[in-house]
Amino acid sequence: MRQVCPYCSQAVDVPDSAAGTEAPCPACGKPFAVPKAYTPNVSVPVEKPTPPPGLVPPAPPVQQTATVSGLHDECGLTLSPQVIAWIPALALTVALASALFFSWIGSFPGGFRAFTQSPLQALFADFSVQSFASLQDTEKGLNSSIRSNWLMLPFLLLLILVTLFAWFERFFPDPKLGRVPSALSFLVGFWPRRHFVLIGMTFFALLFMYMQCYRGFALENALKEISTQKYAKELDEADTTHARQDVQVRAGQDFGRYCLQYTTANVVGHAMLWLALVMLILDCWLDRRAGKPAPRIVLKS
């Protein structure tokens, strides 16, 4: 750096490393103090633009945090896999009990129980009766005209098998060869697909049941046949369409006097089978979501 010696007033060059110390003058040899190095720091002020005259700046938005009481009320239901997994076995058990031990169709003239029939009785062409003097002829006719409903055989077999399988799946959720009887060791191979087996068996049980309902139960078809036979001669003698229709109307009125209807056990059996099918599908979906949080249904008001 270039400095002026205070003793000889000569402009001399001193090394930059001498800044802030004393250095001898190259001209007169006397030492003098060398000032420290100076680093300029220039800052340019940033001027805000001046708004035009008459402009009023908008007020900052005010965030409202107050909430109205009850505005966000909500209620929810968690779909617990542990709870849903037990529902199909319970529902199938109720459906099986209703099919084996309770009547699904019956004749209730005047509100009194006269003839009833369960799916098991329909399979073996049997029915229950409460004798009335006015229905003795009908009872005799039923004994001779009632026939078996063979669609009840696959329905009941599937219902029994799927119920047993559903309970087995609950008590052996992850079977191993050492935990199950050797006769059931074949289950281990397809166990990951057990939900599809249960769903398929339940679906076909429902299918056979609805096919039988469409074709009519044995008790229903026998009562229709009794009413039709009563007017069979008149129907053969009818020579016009109007006359035949009139005979058919009277036969229908005669059948209607039996007041045939499905029972509460029939409704419960249908509902339990549908509940089991839906819960099996849901259980299959939840099983494939293993490791994820249980889904939750939330209703907001």
Lowest mean pLDDT among 40-44, 135-139, 249-253: 40-44
pLDDT at 19 over 80: no
**What are the domain boundaries of the chain?**
2-33, 82-300
Percent of the chain whose predicted confidence (pLDDT) is above 90: 39
Q: What are phi and psi of 189, to 5 degrees?
A: -65, -45
| pLDDT per position as a tens digit, 118-140 | 999 999 999 999 888 888 888 88
Q: Cα–Cα distances in Å, from 68 out to 72, 76, 91, 300?
A: 8, 21, 44, 14
| pLDDT per position as a tens digit, 49-64 | 776 776 667 766 656 5
Cα–Cα–Cα angle for 223, 228, 230, rounded to 5 degrees: 100
75-79, 105-109, 131-135 — most confident range: 105-109
pLDDT at 65 over 80: no
- Kindly report the pTM of this predicted structure: 0.67
Q: DSSP string spanning 124-135?
A: TT--EE---GGG
In this prediction, residue 75 carries a pLDDT of 75
Percent of the chain whose predicted confidence (pLDDT) is above 70: 82
Tally of CA atoms within 13 A in the half-sphere of 4 that contains its CB = 2
pLDDT at 210 over 80: yes
Architecture of domain 82-300: Up-down Bundle (1.20)
